[in-house]
Homo-oligomer: A and B are copies of this chain.
Amino acid sequence: MGKRKRKKDHYFAGVDIGGTKLHAIVADGKGNILARSRMKAKGEAGFKAVMGRVKSCIENACDEASLSLKKITAVGVGAPSAILPNGVAVNAPNMGWKNVPLTRQLKKALKRPVFALNDCEAGTLGEYQFGAGRKAKTLVGLFMGTGLGGGIIQRGRLLNGENSLAGELGHMVVERDGRECGCGGRGCLEAYASKLGMGHFIRHQVETEGKKSILEALCAAEYDNIRSGLLAKAYAAGDPVAIMALQEAANYLGLGVGNMITLFGPDTIVLGGGVMEALGKELIDRVRKEAEAVSFPRRSYADTKIRLAQLGDDAAALGAVAWANAHTLALNAKH
């Protein structure tokens, strides 16, 4: 027998499309990151303009990695929308997208295979493959940032329902006739456990209840999407409104965690997103306490590891890489 042919090295690009920024990486199949690139998303310029910027962002990352785009086996995309199996992004309110042909457009522009999934599912998959959920059998990821999103992975499979649109953890209703949510509904978890929810709470405290808060000056009274760093600053300064807002968000995040334990029985739950990256250590005990009070049967709480995410800003891009890798392997297996 001759020498065994050396297995070809595979490289992937992964991009996290956010409401405000794009974050692209080039990585190998084991999640080792060769290069990163960041750009503004400029969502207001419309779908095609954003796709052009995604292409540039990926090209920049390839350039950083000294790899030509042609050497990329496949591209993974995490986007703030439910994604149908045909690659159509159903609804991304922050981007103004409705039923846009996400993967078709990027395939045409990049001339590479493209595989897309929801950004929070991508984040969960990233943590599952390469981060805080590496040893999990069933993993739930919850990402608290501007909104609240998540994902569920069972034994290596993403759980998103028969129509591929489920697993929308942030839109589980936790208060009937509760606070208005950006989705048009009421009382969704996201309306409480997110920066949008905190913005609502802070504005009410300052403008209706007349409370004083240093956040008024820090964010020029624009409470709707305060940067996590400013929340952390106000929290550290002992600002009572910021502390109450963060405690309320953590209580509801804990309720969401408890409901996930009751319904899905995961062995591991990973908490990420901008707010948890900035204030996870300060908030996790409160999240755990509430989750314990909510979980049923109570002993299930003890069966679940609740951890902070480990991959920070790279989680969704790395999950997109894992998604592209998994689909490429599946395609190769078929041929």
Contacts and interface: CB of A to CB of B under 8 A. Distances in A.
Interface of A: 82, 90-91, 137-138, 154, 159-169, 171-176, 183-185, 188, 251-252, 255, 258-259, 261-267, 293-294, 296-300, 303
Contacts of A159: 154, 264
A13 B171 CA distance: 42
Contacts of A299: 90, 165
Given A261-B166, A265-B166, A296 B90 contact: no
B163 A296 contact: no
Contacts of A261: 166
B160 A265 contact: yes
A294 B187 CA distance: 9
A300 B265 contact: no
A292 to B, nearest CB: 11
Residue among A161, A172, A251, A266 with the highest chain B CB neighbour number at 10 A: A161
B262 A162 contact: no
B264 A168 contact: no
Contact of A300 (B154, B165, B252): B165
A165 B297 contact: yes
A176 B176 contact: no
Contacts of A298: 184
Contacts of A185: 293-294, 296
A164 B138 CA distance: 12
Residue among A159, A160, A258, A259 with the highest chain B CB neighbour number at 10 A: A259
A265 B172 contact: no
A183 B298 CA distance: 9
Given A162-B265, A174-B175, 6 more contacts: A137-B162, A161-B264, A164-B265, A166-B263, A166-B264, A185-B296
7 closest A-B pairs (Cβ-Cβ)?
A161-B265, A166-B265, A171-B296, A162-B267, A163-B303, A168-B262, A168-B296
A297 B188 CA distance: 12
A183 B165 CA distance: 32
Contacts of A164: 265
A162 B303 contact: yes
Contacts of A169: 263
Contacts of A255: 173, 176
27 contacts: A162-B265, A162-B266, A162-B267, A163-B265, A163-B300, A163-B303, A164-B265, A165-B297, A165-B299, A165-B303, A166-B264, A166-B265, A166-B300, A167-B263, A168-B297, A169-B263, A171-B296, A173-B174, A173-B255, A173-B258, A173-B262, A174-B174, A176-B251, A176-B255, A183-B296, A183-B297, A188-B296
B297 A263 contact: no
Residue among A168, A293, A303 with the highest chain B CB neighbour number at 10 A: A168
Given A163-B303, A265-B164, A173 B82 contact: no
